[in-house]
Amino acid sequence: MSAPEDITAPSVPGEPHLTVEKVLLGGGRVWTRRDIVERSGVGPGRTVQIWRALGFPVVDDDARVFTDADVDALRAGERLIEAGLITEDSETMMARALGHHLSRLAEWQVFALRSWVNRGAGDPADGSAWLERAGQLLPELELLQRHVWRRHLAAYAGQMIAAEGDDASAGRRGPGPAGPGEARTAPSHEDADVRDRAVGFTDMVGYTRMTRGLDSGALVRVLDRFESLTGDVVAEGHGRVVKTIGDEVLFVCESASTAADIALELTARAAAEPGLPQMRTGLAHGAVLGRYGDVYGAAVNVAARLTAVARPGTVLVDTAFAGELAGMTEYALKGLRPVSVRGYSRLRPVLLRPASAHRGVSGK
């Protein structure tokens, strides 16, 4: 997502965006790139790289674009590098991840503020009204964002500490030669996390066809319900939503059984939802690379391919995922014929159903 143009436009006295900067940035654009290089101690090449990674277009070296807060942010990055927490390379990747996620949040927040003011104010063209409101509510938005961020930090830190405790009690070792019966652990990377996980894709069946007959209000209601349902079920099942892409949600879990329960619950709840299309889910298990909040690897690709070939109201898993569920009486697994999909000439899907549903079908 590109940055709003007025954020990086040359400073012209009297233009509305100067008020935006005063309200939202706490000060005007007073520094050129040469100024912030001198004040922060960060080289010119890296300041350009970081600025671009945040999602903003590069400006001339003599343009007064930057604020005191920009200098402070660059200094903070330098302190993290000096402490050894990040490197220059990972700082750029961190900036790109922050810019990507927070730009989406900022776009929604500005739209929400403008819509709110327009509902109660007179002239939609009057930018001063919503800017004044934004200034009043900015501390509240910051408080909420900081709180949610810290809650997630605490949750992930707790999970990591618990996992390390389990590894220690089980006598597992870090990177190096594997002992008898131990799997070799891949060396870790500072900004990457590679481990076996369950990956799931869930989408709404017939979404494209359905949207042709919906007005914008009805479409918003369907999308809101889809995102609420999937988000609630994944959270209740102790999974994590990685991202939502239109009519599809990508989630990850630490175990196959957790992902299976989530997928089956999503299917059941969607079937009971009036006005919501049926869902279909693809699940895979294997080594997954987690990086800056996103996930990569063969398991992610396989889960996406399985979703594309799944029938409405069904859950398909790969053979590795099915192996993780072997011996668990809560689930019924049925191997299907191999299919040819993009990147996989003979992908072997396995149909996943709850054991009770399997018994019911068999008993007919």
Mean pLDDT on 208-232: 84
Checking if the pLDDT of 22 tops 90, the result is: no
Confidence at 176, pLDDT banded by 50, 70, 90: very low
What percentage of the chain exceeds 70 in pLDDT? 81
Confidence at 121, pLDDT banded by 50, 70, 90: low
Please give the radius of gyration of the chain, using alpha carbons only, rounded to the nearest integer: 25
Runs of H (alpha helix) within 170-215: 207-211
With beta carbons less than 8 A apart as the criterion, state whether 190 and 90 touch: yes
Q: How many CA atoms lie within 13 A of 32 on its CB side?
A: 5
41-72 pLDDT tens trace: 999 899 999 999 899 888 888 899 898 989 99
Q: Which residue has the higher pLDDT, 315 or 100?
A: 315
Q: What is the mean pLDDT of the chain?
A: 81
Confidence at 218, pLDDT banded by 50, 70, 90: confident
| Residue 36: predicted pLDDT | 92
Mean pLDDT on 23-34: 81
In terms of Cβ atoms closer than 10 Å to its own Cβ (0-12, 13-18, 19+), residue 361 is: exposed
Checking if the pLDDT of 179 tops 90, the result is: no
Q: Which residue has the higher pLDDT, 191 or 106?
A: 106
Q: How far apart are CA 95 and CA 50, in angstroms?
A: 6
The pTM of the full predicted model, rounded to 2 decimals, is 0.71
237-256 pLDDT tens trace: 999 999 988 889 999 999 99
Checking if the pLDDT of 201 tops 90, the result is: yes
Q: How far apart are CA 135 and CA 26, in angstroms?
A: 10
Least-confidence region, from 62-76, 152-166, 282-296, 313-327: 152-166
Checking if the pLDDT of 213 tops 60, the result is: yes
**316 three-state secondary structure:** strand
73-85 pLDDT tens trace: 999 999 999 998 8
Q: How far is CA 109 from CA 13, 116, 327, 332, 345, in A?
A: 26, 10, 48, 45, 45
